């Protein structure tokens, strides 16, 4: 494709992109595809001859789009959002065109220096400690893996990097039973063994119980184990529970544990001074992750990872083969030494476009709207005799379930809510997901999509109410 053809097709795409964002509500939120629908439409082999862009794009519209779940739809209430925004998409267009590699400073100085400054902007805008250093990772899974590896190296005097874990004492990691599954995955990757990830009980709000943490550490010390790390959750995936950071930090300090704070979703709320209490005690953390690619209007991938001690991170990951030497080592940041991957996209550009385009006040306004919408929805749940709030709502995730007054059997309630969710998502009018809290099947509704407005949450509530009644009639519950 020549440049003039690129220009023409790119203009066509821009109009499609703008139309898509304008008319996104005409699509079913959750794809109604069945397994194999797309596979059946795709040839088994790549074409030998090049094809016209018009043909490729027609297939995109007719074959791909029906298999898309529309994460940017304002009625996307599932999981946590993976928000985009116009400013972020514009940045992605430039990133793709430049196609630079930011593996070392020299391979694009601006990519490295903009990342350094953006991490400072975010740090200060969120009230994080001023001496922290940040780096963009792809996901919180990877960032938490970096934390676990740094903790492992600090605990073993950097000996596990050298000779492996074979002769080390058993390193123990503590986290609440509500901790994200990525921590278990990361513990396994690091060679530490999932048996050594100790899940700590939570309280009625699904937050870690500090006294249970202390008991687990004491028990491990008696058994000759080496307590290494505690993961505190600021906003669990299940219910955005907030672990008590000051109490956990005190225990971490007492026993010399690495304190990693996972605020992957909720961290964005710290842009609001009135929500900054959720990270009270953060100055005691060794590492911290939050994802601007979730709630901060910045396209995936963009996970912000912060450490209080840069040297430990670098000592964990630095490798300097001849072909990567540039003569500037020590003078500049070479972000390949700050994580796993060597190649790196120019992700800082998205943050720069988003932060400047909205300004901190613009982002705050959107976050406050989301938080208010969740409170409104929570009130509907609480004031309805057949619905039940299942967890506190510290942020903008509402955990609830349908609970008709004449049903008490826990299994029956679980099945009923599972059926309700299936019907709601099949409608295409909204998309929610679920979790289990203390064995109970719970519907999760997150008011955090970039474009969500009052009417979308109101429609969601009306639909949930109507569908629950329809289901009850169908099952002869009423």
Footprint of its own copies on residues 117-176 (CB under 8 A)? Answer: 117, 120-122, 124-125, 138-142, 145, 149, 152, 160-166, 168, 170-171
Residue 440 touching its own copies (CB under 8 A): no
Query: Nearer Cβ to its own copies, position 75 or 435?
Result: 435
Residue 362 touching its own copies (CB under 8 A): yes
State whether residue 332 is helix, strand or coil: strand
Query: Nearer Cβ to its own copies, position 183 or 381?
Result: 183
Query: Nearer Cβ to its own copies, position 362 or 465?
Result: 362
Q: Is residue 429 within 8 Å of 75, Cβ to Cβ?
A: yes
Residue 75 touching its own copies (CB under 8 A): no
User: Where does this chain touch its own copies (CB under 8 A) — which range of 48-56, 245-253, 377-385, 457-465?
Assistant: 48-56
Q: Which of residues 408-437 bind its own copies (CB under 8 A)?
A: 433-436
- Residues contacting its own copies: total by CB under 8 A: 155
The CB-of-211 to its own copies minimum distance in angstroms stands at 25
User: Kind and range of the H or E element at 3?
Assistant: helix 3-22
Structure tokens belonging to residue 422: 């299936």
CA separation for the pair 252, 2 (Å, rounded):
59
Residue showing tokens 């009018």: 429
Residue 306 touching its own copies (CB under 8 A): no
Query: Nearer Cβ to its own copies, position 85 or 214?
Result: 85
User: Where does this chain touch its own copies (CB under 8 A) — which range of 205-213, 277-285, 357-365, 383-391?
Assistant: 357-365
CA separation for the pair 397, 374 (Å, rounded):
7
Paired residues of 474 in beta bridges: none
CA separation for the pair 159, 345 (Å, rounded):
32
Residue 272 touching its own copies (CB under 8 A): no
User: Where does this chain touch its own copies (CB under 8 A) — which range of 201-209, 254-262, 317-325, 463-471?
Assistant: 317-325
Q: Inter-axis angle of helices 348-383 and 454-474, to 10 degrees?
A: 50
Q: Which of residues 84-123 bind its own copies (CB under 8 A)?
A: 84-90, 92-101, 105-111, 113-114, 116-117, 120-122
Residue 472 touching its own copies (CB under 8 A): no
Residue 293 touching its own copies (CB under 8 A): yes
User: Where does this chain touch its own copies (CB under 8 A) — which range of 58-66, 244-252, 277-285, 468-476?
Assistant: 58-66
Q: Is residue 244 within 8 Å of 226, Cβ to Cβ?
A: no
State whether residue 386 is helix, strand or coil: coil
Closest by alpha carbon to 428, among 21, 17, 78?
A: 78
Mark 442-471 with x for binding to its own copies (rule: CB under 8 A) and - for no binding.
--x---------------------------
Among 26, 44, 222, 273, which residue interacts with its own copies (rule: CB under 8 A)?
44
Neighbours of 107 (CB within 10 A): 17
Neighbours of 199 (CB within 10 A): 17
* Residue burial 443-458, b: 16+ Cβ < 10 Å; e: rest: bbbbbbbbbbeeebbe
Pairing of the two strands 258-262 and 226-233: parallel
């Amino acid at each position: 494709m020549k440049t003039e053809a690129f220009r023409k097709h790119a203009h066509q795409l821009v109009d499609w992109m703008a139309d898509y964002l304008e008319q996104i509500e005409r699509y079913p939120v959750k794809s109604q595809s069945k397994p194999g629908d797309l596979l059946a439409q795709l040839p088994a082999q790549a074409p030998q001859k090049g094809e016209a862009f018009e043909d490729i794009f027609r297939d995109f519209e007719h074959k791909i789009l029906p298999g898309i779940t529309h994460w940017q739809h304002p009625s996307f209430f599932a999981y946590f959002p993976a928000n985009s925004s116009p400013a972020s998409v514009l940045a992605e267009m430039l990133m793709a065109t430049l196609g630079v590699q930011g593996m070392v400073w020299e391979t694009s100085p601006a990519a490295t220096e903009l990342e350094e400054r953006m991490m400072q902007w975010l740090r200060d805008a969120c009230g994080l400690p001023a001496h922290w250093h940040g780096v963009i990772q792809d996901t919180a899974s990877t960032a938490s893996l970096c934390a676990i590896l740094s903790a492992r190296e600090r605990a073993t005097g950097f000996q596990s990097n050298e000779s492996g874990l074979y002769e080390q004492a058993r390193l123990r990691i503590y986290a609440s039973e509500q901790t994200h599954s990525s921590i278990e995955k990361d513990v396994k990757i690091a060679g530490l063994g999932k048996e050594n990830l100790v899940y700590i009980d939570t309280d009625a709000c699904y937050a870690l119980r500090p006294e249970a943490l202390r008991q687990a550490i004491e028990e491990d010390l008696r058994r000759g184990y080496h307590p290494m790390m505690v993961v505190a959750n600021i906003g669990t995936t299940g219910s955005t529970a907030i672990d008590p950071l000051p109490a956990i930090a005190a225990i971490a300090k007492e026993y010399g544990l690495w304190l990693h704070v996972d605020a992957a979703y909720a961290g964005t709320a710290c842009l609001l001074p009135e929500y900054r209490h959720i990270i009270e005690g953060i100055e005691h953390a060794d590492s911290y992750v939050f994802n601007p690619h979730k709630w901060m209007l910045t396209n995936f991938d963009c996970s912000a990872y912060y450490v209080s001690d840069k040297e430990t991170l670098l000592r964990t990951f630095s490798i300097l083969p001849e072909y990567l030497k540039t003569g500037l080592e020590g003078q500049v940041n070479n972000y390949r030494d700050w994580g796993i991957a060597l190649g790196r996209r120019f992700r800082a550009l998205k943050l720069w476009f988003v932060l400047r385009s909205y300004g901190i006040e613009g982002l705050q306004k959107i976050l406050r709207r989301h938080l208010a919408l969740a409170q409104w929805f929570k009130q509907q749940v609480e004031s309805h005799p057949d619905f039940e709030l299942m967890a506190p709502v510290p942020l903008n995730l509402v955990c609830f379930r349908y609970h008709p007054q004449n049903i008490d059997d826990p299994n029956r309630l679980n099945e009923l809510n599972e059926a309700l969710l299936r019907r709601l998502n099949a409608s295409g009018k909204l998309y929610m997901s679920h979790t289990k809290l203390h064995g109970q099947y719970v519907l999760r509704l997150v008011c955090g999509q970039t474009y969500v407005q009052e009417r979308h949450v109101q429609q969601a509530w009306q639909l949930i109410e109507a569908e629950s009644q329809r289901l009850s009639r169908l099952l002869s519950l009423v």
